[in-house]
Chains A and B, each alone.
Chain A
Amino acid sequence: MSVGSDHPVTRPAGEIAKLAAMLRRDFRIALSYRTAFIADIVNIAAQIVMFGFIGRLVDPRLLPTYGSSRATYMGFVAIGIAVTALMTVGTGRMTTAIRGEQMTGTLEMLLLTPTRLSTLQLGWIVYDLLYVPVRTAGFLILVTALFGVRFAVSGIVPASALLLAFVPFVWGIGAGSAGAMLTFRRGGGIFGYATMALAFLSGAYVPLDIFPTWVAGLQDLNPVAATLDGLRRALIGGGGWAAVAPHVNVVLPVSACVFLLGIGVFRIALRRELRAGSVGQY
């Protein structure tokens, strides 16, 4: 049987209603864990304080110039932290969600409902897709207020477009990671470490200039580095669409390929587990 024939017959409107139900479920569950919510706010504050101190050690002359503006370390790293948070959530959330559903025994119950796999995949991260931007905006507002960092308002829309092109890349890695977790049960953490390493080597926290030249040379094809650079050019340098377009051209095709690959890996893994009858095991 092909993977395609695995789709239950459902209406698009019905699938959207299911996404809303999954969002409501995750919101209710998140509300019930008040301590975790507070811990996340503390985590944001801790990051700001930590990078604030690190910023004092960094020589401003080492930081790149975007447009006519030289970046401050807090402005530079705030964008890196925002993208890293998106990557961490996007790549880890689906794995965590599936793992959680396996542990609670609800995964099989969900698979018994006439719901498309793509709906489930999106449903597992839809809460975070809404929460992370709010969290990131809160983080950036705090950085602006506490450290006087100024972001260019004219760069917000182009930067959002670039982020939108970047999201499928993150989601694709997340889906592939979830597929690997379904197959091997363990080892999902490897994707987390790989994501962090990729973000670090892409210049999330420090300028690429300080890396060996061969690392910096790889960045032309690295969608994370391209996204970070594009966002900084838009938000720090105030460059509009013209500054972002070359980065979108790099990010979009890679995103599309990684997305399709990740979804494919996940579906094959799920089909394999269903065939083996072990999808609920952990």
Chain B
Amino acid sequence: MSHLPRHSSQRVLAQAAPTLSAHHASPRHSVATPPALRTRQLTRRFGAHTALSNVDLAVHAGEILAVLGPNGAGKTTLLRLLTSLVEPTDGSIEVLGRPAAGTRRQRVQTPVGFVPSGDRTFYLRLSGRENLRFFARMHGMRGAAARRRSDELLDIVGLAQVADQAVGRYSHGMQKRLSVARGLLVRPPVLLVDEATHDLDPAGGALIRDLIKTIASDGTAVLWATQRLEELSGFADAVLVLVDGRVRHHGPFEDLLRRAPARRYILTLGDRPDQSTLRHAAASAARVDVLPGPHPRVLLELHPDAVLGHAICAISNAGNEVVACREERSEVLQAFLRVTEARQR
């Protein structure tokens, strides 16, 4: 569970915005602005296995690009290539238009922040403040600057109150926030976040997303690898779907949603209905099928641009009591499945 109360985190995040803007000019990119992060034909092979193949992507300042994909799709390999923990077999990486082809020397000249997926990436016997100051020093910051920046970031991520506590006593959520703080130490133009919310409770996940959203709105380009589809709505600006190391979809989040099949809902009715009557009543808004089983349930598949309320009204007006309604599967999940399953067709 996150340490910080929700209202408190929002206050802290609101205070953070001006602090974060030290080097970013504009929060949203224009068409003429080159991307903060770009890859061209990025490829990584491990022996005979191709983990990533010809990946082209671009993330602009202030943009959040969500990287989706099933297990083994190449998400982590992509992030490790971008941090240069792994060297590319082929292709190029550019940060702010400068090549960062994966060597340590090049990376130093074009730093990116990295929030790894593991929750054990700190010295657990040291406090959060000591950890941040240590990594700040290792990034080459002078003593006073390292102290100032660490304290500033602890405040931003809402850990100032527990800054002197050993990290080993932090919750998952607190460690994750500390990890975000570490990723921002050098004010990177690009922040890479690997599965930051996968082991967090909903409130903890929301807190991290709020934090990342604030960071992005201040001009940092964020690449967010995740398996949690439900967190993308209202969060990600664009989506990149990887399947078997290849890009299946790269574009605005709305474009992905357009690939979703019809929205489907399961209605529980008061009595077992007559299928033909139901179909006739709801025909203008949805297709209706009575589901087998002991309970009176129907599957409602909305037509494009149809409104769920209209369909339910029509069914209700035809003399059926609608007791409950739930979405069969999220449309993001459906779109994701459609994109990832395309390889099999």
Which listed residue (B46, B80, B116) contacts A109, Cβ 8 A?
Answer: B116
Which chain B positions have C-beta within 8 A of A18? Answer: 137-138, 140
CB A122 to nearest CB in B, in angstroms, measures: 13
A25 within 8 A of B: yes
Interface band, chain B: 35 or more
A119 to chain B, nearest CB (A): 9
In angstroms, how far is the closest chain B Cβ from the Cβ of A126?
A: 14
Q: Which residue of B105, B130, B140 is within 8 Å of A6 (Cβ)?
A: B105
Residues of A within 8 A of B84 (CB): 112
Is there a chain B Cβ closer than 8 Å to A277's Cβ? yes
Asked if A274 and B86 sit within 8 Å, CB to CB, the answer is yes
Q: Does B92 contact A (CB under 8 A)?
A: no
Known: A9-B108, A277-B77. A105 touches B118 (CB 8 A): yes
Cβ-defined contact, A109 with B103, below 8 A: no
Q: Is B104 touching A6 in the complex (CB atoms < 8 A)?
A: yes
Could you tell me which residues of chain A, from 1 to 46, have a CB within 8 Å of some CB in chain B? 1, 5-11, 14, 17-18, 20-22, 24-25, 28-29, 32-33
Contacts of A7 in B (CB 8 A): 104-105
Known: A114-B139, A274-B86. 17 other contacts (CB 8 A): A8-B105, A8-B107, A9-B105, A9-B109, A17-B140, A25-B123, A28-B126, A28-B130, A32-B126, A109-B116, A109-B182, A111-B85, A112-B114, A114-B104, A114-B111, A275-B87, A280-B85
A104 within 8 A of B: yes
Q: Is A113 at the interface (CB under 8 A from chain B)? A: yes
- In the complex, the answer to whether A5 meets B116 with C-beta atoms within 8 Å is no
On whether A33 and B140 interact (CB within 8 A), knowing A113-B135, A274-B85, the answer reads: no
Top 7 closest pairs, chain A to chain B, by CB: A277-B86, A21-B137, A114-B108, A105-B121, A113-B138, A8-B108, A32-B125
- In this assembly, does A210 line the interface, its C-beta being within 8 Å of a C-beta of chain B? no
Instruction: Identify the A interface with B (CB < 8 A).
Output: 1, 5-11, 14, 17-18, 20-22, 24-25, 28-29, 32-33, 104-106, 108-115, 274-277, 279-280
C-alpha spacing A21/B138, complex, angstroms:
7
Scan B123-155; emit 1 where CB is below 8 A from any A CB, else 0: 111100010011101111011000000000000
Minimum C-beta distance from B172 to chain A (A): 14
Whether the Cβ atoms of B121 and A104 lie closer than 8 Å is yes
B268 at the interface (CB under 8 A from A): no
Contacts of A275 in B (CB 8 A): 87
- Cβ of B121 and Cβ of A109 under 8 Å apart? yes
* B104 with A109: CB separation less than 8 A: no
B101, closest chain A residue (CB): A1
A104 touching B86, Cβ below 8 Å: no
A-B contact pairs, 10 of them (CB 8 A): A5-B105, A17-B137, A18-B140, A20-B137, A21-B137, A28-B125, A33-B125, A111-B85, A112-B107, A274-B87
User: Chain B: which residue is nearest A117 at the CB level?
Assistant: B104
Separation of A207 and B105 alpha carbons in the complex (Å): 51
**Across-interface contacts of A24 in B (CB, < 8 A):** 134
Q: Which of A11, A104, A277 contacts B122 (CB 8 A)?
A: A104
Given known contacts A5-B105, A9-B109, A115 and B121 CB-to-CB distance under 8 angstroms: no
Chain A, residue nearest B51 (CB): A277
CA separation between A28 and B118, bound complex, in Å?
Answer: 24
In the complex, chain B residues whose CB is within 8 Å of the CB of A8 = 104-105, 107-108
Chain B residues positioned under 8 Å from A28 (CB to CB): 125-126, 130
Shortest Cβ distance from B76 into A: residue: A277
What is the distance, in angstroms, from B342's C-beta to the closest C-beta of chain A? 28
Contact yes or no, B135 A277, CB < 8 A: no
Specify which of B84, B140, B142, B182 lies most central, judged by the most chain A CB atoms within 10 Å of its CB. B140
Measured between C-beta atoms, what is the minimum distance from B41 to chain A in Å? 19
Q: For residue A101, which residue of chain B has the nearest CB?
A: B123
- Please name all residues of chain B whose beta carbon is closer than 8 Å to the beta carbon of A110 when the two chains form the complex: 138
**Roughly how many angstroms separate A110 CA and B139 CA in the complex, as a whole number?**
9
Smallest CB gap from A17: residue in B:
B137
Report chain B residues within 8 Å CB of A106: 121-123
CB distance from B188 to the nearest CB of A (A): 11
CB-CB < 8 A to A104: which residues of B?
Answer: 120-124
Chain B residue nearest to A100 (CB atoms) is B123
Instruction: Tell whether, in the assembled complex, residue B182 and residue A111 are in contact, meaning their CB atoms are under 8 Å apart.
Output: no
Residue on B nearest A114 in the bound complex, by CB: B108
In whole angstroms, how far apart are the Cα atoms of A208 and B25 in the complex? Answer: 73
A236 → B minimal CB distance (Å): 41
Q: Please tell me which one of the listed residues A29, A105, A115 contacts residue B138 in the complex, with CB atoms under 8 A apart.
A: A115
A6 lies within 8 A of B103 (CB): yes
* Contact A113 B109, beta carbon cutoff 8 Å: no
Chain A positions within 8 Å of B182 at CB level: 109
**Is B2 on the interface with A (CB-CB < 8 A)?**
no
Given contacts A9-B105, A277-B80, contact A114 B130 (CB under 8 A): no
Rounded to whole angstroms, the CA-CA distance of A111 and B80 in the bound complex is 12
Q: How far, in whole Å, are A51 and B104 apart by their CA atoms in the complex?
A: 50
A104-B123, A105-B118 known; A279 and B85 CB under 8 Å? yes
Contact B116 A108 (CB under 8 A): yes
Partner of A14, one of B105, B121, B140: B140
Give the residues in chain A near B334, CB-CB below 8 Å: none
B83 touches A (CB below 8 Å)? yes
